[in-house]
Amino acid sequence: MLLEVRDLHVEFRTRDGVAKAVNGVTYGVDAGETLAVLGESGSGKSVTAQAIMGILDMPPGRIAGGEILFQGQDLLKLKEEERRKIRGAGMAMIFQDALSSLNPVLTVGDQLGEMFTVHRGMSRKDARAKAVELMDRVRIPAAKERVRQYPHQFSGGMRQRIMIAMALALEPALIIADEPTTALDVTVQAQVMDLLAELQREYRIGLILITHDLGVVADVADRIAVMYAGRIVESAPVHDIYKAPAHPYTRGLLESIPRLDQKGQELYAIKGLPPNLLHIPPGCPFHPRCPMARDVCRTDVPPLYEVSPTRGSACHFWRECLDDYDG
């Protein structure tokens, strides 16, 4: 395994108490594999990613337990300087909003070239040449001229390509993409996603794709991990999930996608709100919103049951859930 997260716990101190953002997340990615992490906002998917990258705001954040094994070594045991060297070179991250994630007062060339001057000790001139090369790589037209421009002078799609180029710069083994297309126009979303998938295959990168868009997931992901209230509630190969979800929450997510063959029917929506992380409900955290909830759900936290050797579900009644899915 390229990356293994084991029983990770992350908390945030707030003025109203401790918010438990991640509560025992376990997942892994292989080289060349794409893992899609799915969930509503507040489910802990981004916080997990930030913990892996080591860019959590601490304080107020705190890693309360667990391991993050990257190429065999536990990142949480490394010194900050060692972790810094892994960031960018070993693993990189693509953020949602490229406009705010790029420095507004530096040219894109400077920001790309920085990867090479800092991590590889290249001269500024060589780094500039590398930057142009990267921009070509992500198919930004007229890269030679545009390398001198500032982020605001690019379109949204082009900016996200620059973010991808930056992540790709040092050919890292792992890339975490946090909602990379959410902020883009629908028309360019597919282009950017295709580019990312293509480069990922080419360089055999392990990709963690954080998203709430199930449509994107179906095309590019190998596996899916669904998160709810800081836990993995279902983890499975992508086809299994689309065939039949083994958790009522996953099912709710799937049913809330509009479908052509159900035109005229009311769109399904999961009732209720995501849980307050300061007061996560006892038992299964999803039970207040779950149509299948019974007494046991209110008291016992479901473990991740093994549905098949490659599949797990944190629902006491996963079997029922599987059986009566008609999708």
Centre a 10 Å sphere on the Cβ of residue 282 and count the other Cβ atoms it contains. 12
When the beta carbons of 115 and 293 are compared against other proteins, the nearer one is 115
When the beta carbons of 2 and 307 are compared against other proteins, the nearer one is 2
Helix, strand or coil, per DSSP, at residue 261: helix
Backbone angles phi, psi at 99, to 5 degrees: -65, -45
Both tokens of residue 158?
Answer: 């082009």
When the beta carbons of 23 and 313 are compared against other proteins, the nearer one is 23
Q: In the chain, count of helices (H) and strands (E)?
A: 13, 12
According to CB under 8 A, which residues from 307 to 326 bind other proteins? none
When the beta carbons of 6 and 84 are compared against other proteins, the nearer one is 84
Count of residues binding other proteins (CB under 8 A)?
51
Among 25, 36, 47, 68, binds other proteins (CB under 8 A): 47
Output the CA–CA distances (angstroms, integers) from residue 57 to 49, 60, 62, 279, 311, in the order listed: 12, 6, 8, 22, 33
Is 113 near other proteins (CB under 8 A)?
no
Is 103 near other proteins (CB under 8 A)?
yes
Helix, strand or coil, per DSSP, at residue 14: strand
The residue to which tokens 């900016």 are assigned: 159
Both tokens of residue 188?
Answer: 């360019």
Helix, strand or coil, per DSSP, at residue 181: coil
According to CB under 8 A, which residues from 192 to 221 bind other proteins? none
> Smallest distance, Å, CB 277 to other proteins?
5
Among 53, 68, 184, 236, binds other proteins (CB under 8 A): 53
> Smallest distance, Å, CB 110 to other proteins?
9
- ω before 60 within 30° of 0 (cis)? yes
Among 1, 7, 14, 296, binds other proteins (CB under 8 A): 14
Return the range that interacts with other proteins (CB under 8 A); candidates 25-33, 111-119, 218-226, 305-313. Answer: 111-119
Each residue of 29-46: b (16+ CB within 10 Å) or e?
beeebbbbbbbeebbbbb
Euclidean distance between CA atoms 162 and 274, whole angstroms: 34
When the beta carbons of 46 and 313 are compared against other proteins, the nearer one is 46
> Smallest distance, Å, CB 264 to other proteins?
31
> Smallest distance, Å, CB 194 to other proteins?
23
According to DSSP H, which parts of the chain are helical? 45-53, 80-86, 98-101, 108-120, 124-137, 143-146, 156-168, 186-203, 214-220, 238-243, 248-255, 295-299, 318-323
Is 97 near other proteins (CB under 8 A)?
yes
According to CB under 8 A, which residues from 244 to 283 bind other proteins? 273-278
Q: How many residues does the chain have?
A: 327
> Smallest distance, Å, CB 228 to other proteins?
13
Both tokens of residue 34?
Answer: 């794409």
Among 8, 25, 61, 224, binds other proteins (CB under 8 A): 61
Question: DSSP character for 204?
Answer: T
Among 2, 5, 10, 143, binds other proteins (CB under 8 A): 10
H or E element that contains 93? strand 91-94
> Smallest distance, Å, CB 225 to other proteins?
16
Return the range that interacts with other proteins (CB under 8 A); candidates 7-15, 188-196, 244-252, 291-299. Answer: 7-15
Residues of the shown chain interacting with other proteins in the complex, contacts defined by CB under 8 A = 10, 12-16, 19, 21, 41-47, 50, 53, 55, 57, 60-61, 84-89, 92-93, 95, 97, 100-106, 114-115, 118-119, 150, 152, 166, 273-278
